[in-house]
Chains A and B, each alone.
Chain A
Amino acid sequence: MSLLVDIAILIIVAIIFAYTLRHYRFYWDRAFARQEDGSESFAGAYLPSVSIICPMKNEERVASRLLDCLVRMDYPKDNGRYEVIAIDDNSTDHTSEIVDRYAAQYSFIKAVHRSNSKILSKPAALNVGLTFAHKEVVLFFDADYMPPRDCVKRLVAPFADPLVAGVMGRVVPVNAPDTILSRILDLERAGGYQVDQQARHRIGLIPQFGGTVGGFRRTFLASQNGFDAYHLAEDTDMTYKAYLSGRKICYVNTAECYEEVVTQPRPRGVQVRRWGIGHNMCMFDHAFKTIRSRFLPFWRKFDGIMLLGVYFMPFIQMAGWLLGIYSYLFQPPFYRDLLIALFLTLSYNVVGNLALFTEVGASCCMDRRNRSIWLLPLMLPITLYYVLIGTRAFVDSLILHLTVRKRERRNAEEEREKRARSEIK
């Protein structure tokens, strides 16, 4: 037992160390390498036809703001090259009227109404939108986002490369000064996009489509039969489907879009838990496929697996703590000095992976947000909060995977067999 616990702790430390190295690699590349992006030179020159899908559920407060931004978008709207599909997704407020008003006023805006739907999920709404989208590229914007005038131009530029299946832009919070949490989320976003995503894009790893401020080639979405309507992380799911089919996602750091982040910890917790469950579902679905993929080179596979494990890490960290406490209380091992050192090293990594903080520090420096750097130590309690929520999300996703999703899959297989049999008859 003692040996097993010690081995488990060593494995956990090794995993955390691997993530630390990965983040330092990203930090180093983003901070000091030349950030030239080929697609930037195509911005404004390559202008494919675009459908923009905006799912809105009870968004009367922000719906007209987003639609105004899309109306003002600096993109040629002649010859039906630009269309906006505003989806009123089972709203019970005035969203429906707002959408209708804009559709009546502008010929390039289509209003789509969903009501009494069986599946009440964002991907289900997106799939409905996709049936109305007929342009070359499909972009998505959530209702609480504010794309600037050049955003679409910049986002579509990478599609000049036929291998590009999807793009993702940078998300910048506009309400950072509201609360301490929104300030911290602003830092998180800065580190996540300005350093993490950009480095992954530049090094040639796996930048991730984040569900909004980005999009896909319509033919690619059609080849995948749209989004999985039951998935909680349909964005990550589609990212992996793109890579596993030999295509890629481009991150465009200069395509900035502004959003309102949550300002209270509880809704943030709900958000992180939902993402965690969805992301872990992707891990269960795509981990082995990623390892076996013939399209992905070694480092892309490696990064792909680490990216899939991002929401598995809180569970690993929690396990490290519990094993450390167990060793401390019940089994002083024969090499106890090493164990104490390991326990502490683990704590340092767990409490706040320093590499992550250096990413945030570098991004603040690059964004010229000098005063924000002072807030770095405040990220600590939020990190602890995420460890707890992430652990719960992992357990939930595991249960969901082993029960509901297995049953769903079995039913789907039976259905397929039945259909095949009836076709033979």
Chain B
Amino acid sequence: MVVIEVEAKRISVERGQWSLRLERVHLIIGTVTSVVLFLLLIANVQEYWMFQANLVSDVLRFAKVPHSLFLLGRSRATEFLNAVPPVFVITKMVLPRNVILAMAGIILVTMVLVAAIPRLSPPVKIVIGFILTPVIVNLVYEILHPEQPWPLDVDWLTSGIVIIPLILIIFTAAIFPVQGPLSVKVAGFACCLLFSFAWSTLRLSLALSSLFYWGTFTFMFLEYLPCAFVDFIYMLFFYSMVMHRLAISQQRAE
């Protein structure tokens, strides 16, 4: 027993036994802020949508896309959180079937060629495949439903709104409890939310413009790929950035 005690003294605490100090106060501040923001969002979804729709409308006007915006018009979409999504009425380009088939053929050949190039590393091939697959899917969609870009109705639900609770959760669970200056966390949090709003506005504008100029397939391409990828990438980017700053401040404190 004595031997064990003597040996125990010789063992220093190493990184295997380190842990991050829990900042309880910051966690409470983060949780309260997130809950308040979430409640505010729920209570003001209609206003949020109207504000964003007006911005999108301005961008569309700048891009010379003729459209009409009905802020409180009757939508085909289901109501969400007692709010009605704003409606854009827009002329949609319908591509001839031959053009669509030719494009699908070109993309498929490109995919096969990319897969066959031995020098290209597998992750690069997969990313290219991942980008081209939605294009094919949307070309098929264009053939199957040339007049029904129905997901446009619910676009509002997924673009700006769904991402906000995700950001709130990530920052509350993974950033606020970590030891480090509150100012860095709050600044990262605010920047991420602002970027999210700016990006979703820009993405919607791009998607609607492409609907006018090129038709459904590019609209869906612009809609789904950035949703799945870019939203995630920028969340990860903000997370890395804030964690980097917190890690540096921890080291300085030591």
User: A residues near B, CB below 8 A?
Assistant: 24, 27-28, 30-37, 40-46, 170, 194, 198, 252-256, 264-266, 269, 325, 328-330, 332, 335-337, 340-341, 344-345, 347-348, 350-352, 354, 357-358, 361-362, 364-371, 373-377, 380-382, 384-385, 388
The answer to whether B126 and A381 touch across the interface, beta carbons within 8 angstroms, is yes
Interface size on B, residues (CB 8 A): 61
**Is residue B28 within 8 Å, beta carbon to beta carbon, of the partner chain?**
no
The answer to whether A366 and B4 touch across the interface, beta carbons within 8 angstroms, is no
Which residues in A have their C-beta under 8 angstroms from that of B250?
365
A sample of 10 more A-B contacts (CB under 8 A), given A24-B173, A340-B151, A385-B123, is A35-B19, A40-B17, A44-B11, A269-B122, A325-B137, A328-B151, A336-B154, A362-B20, A362-B178, A369-B247
Within the complex, which residue of B137, B158, B236 is in contact with A341, where a contact is CB–CB below 8 Å?
A: B158
Contact A32/B157 with A44-B10, A348-B231 known, Cβ cut-off 8 Å: no
The answer to whether A35 and B17 touch across the interface, beta carbons within 8 angstroms, is yes
The answer to whether B170 and A354 touch across the interface, beta carbons within 8 angstroms, is yes
The answer to whether B239 and A41 touch across the interface, beta carbons within 8 angstroms, is no
**Is residue B150 within 8 Å, beta carbon to beta carbon, of the partner chain?**
yes
Which residues in B have their C-beta under 8 angstroms from that of A330?
144
Q: Could you tell me the distance between the alpha carbons of A368 and B162 in the complex, rounded to whole angstroms? A: 33
Bits for B1-42, please: 1 = Cβ < 8 Å to A, else 0: 001100110110011111111100000000000000000000
**Is residue B62 within 8 Å, beta carbon to beta carbon, of the partner chain?**
no
**Is residue B130 within 8 Å, beta carbon to beta carbon, of the partner chain?**
yes
Within the complex, which residue of B21, B157, B231, B233 is in contact with A340, where a contact is CB–CB below 8 Å?
A: B157
Which 9 pairs from chain A and chain B are nearest by CB? Answer: A253-B16, A347-B228, A254-B16, A381-B123, A32-B22, A41-B8, A45-B7, A358-B174, A370-B247
The answer to whether A380 and B178 touch across the interface, beta carbons within 8 angstroms, is no
Which residues in A have their C-beta under 8 angstroms from that of B4?
41-42, 45-46
Which residues in B have their C-beta under 8 angstroms from that of A385?
122-123, 126
Q: Could you tell me the distance between the alpha carbons of A362 and B18 in the complex, rounded to whole angstroms? A: 11
Q: Could you tell me the distance between the alpha carbons of A367 and B153 in the complex, rounded to whole angstroms? A: 47
Which residues in A have their C-beta under 8 angstroms from that of B247?
364-365, 368-370, 373
Interchain nearest-CB distance for A387 vs B (Å): 8
The answer to whether A35 and B237 touch across the interface, beta carbons within 8 angstroms, is no
30 contacts between A and B (CB under 8 A): A32-B20, A32-B177, A34-B19, A37-B17, A40-B17, A41-B7, A41-B8, A44-B11, A45-B8, A46-B4, A329-B137, A330-B144, A337-B157, A340-B154, A344-B228, A347-B228, A351-B229, A358-B174, A362-B20, A364-B243, A365-B20, A366-B20, A370-B244, A373-B247, A375-B240, A380-B232, A381-B123, A384-B123, A384-B126, A385-B126
Within the complex, which residue of B7, B21, B177 is in contact with A44, where a contact is CB–CB below 8 Å?
A: B7
The answer to whether A45 and B3 touch across the interface, beta carbons within 8 angstroms, is yes
The answer to whether B17 and A253 touch across the interface, beta carbons within 8 angstroms, is yes
The answer to whether B11 and A40 touch across the interface, beta carbons within 8 angstroms, is yes
Which residues in A have their C-beta under 8 angstroms from that of B239?
357-358, 361, 376
Bits for B213-254, please: 1 = Cβ < 8 Å to A, else 0: 000000000001001110111011101110110111011000
Interface of B, secondary structure class, is helix
- Highest count of chain B CB atoms <10 Å: which of A34, A255, A265, A365: A365
User: Which B residue's beta carbon lies closest to that of A363?
Assistant: B15
Which residues in A have their C-beta under 8 angstroms from that of B231?
348
**Is residue B103 within 8 Å, beta carbon to beta carbon, of the partner chain?**
no
Q: Could you tell me the distance between the alpha carbons of A43 and B6 in the complex, rounded to whole angstroms? A: 11
Within the complex, which residue of A24, A365, A374, A376 is in contact with B178, where a contact is CB–CB below 8 Å?
A: A365
The answer to whether A366 and B232 touch across the interface, beta carbons within 8 angstroms, is no
**Is residue B70 within 8 Å, beta carbon to beta carbon, of the partner chain?**
no
Q: Could you tell me the distance between the alpha carbons of A365 and B224 in the complex, rounded to whole angstroms? A: 33
User: Which B residue's beta carbon lies closest to that of A380?
Assistant: B233
**Is residue B54 within 8 Å, beta carbon to beta carbon, of the partner chain?**
no
**Is residue B195 within 8 Å, beta carbon to beta carbon, of the partner chain?**
no
Contact A352/B162 with A27-B174, A35-B17, A382-B123 known, Cβ cut-off 8 Å: no
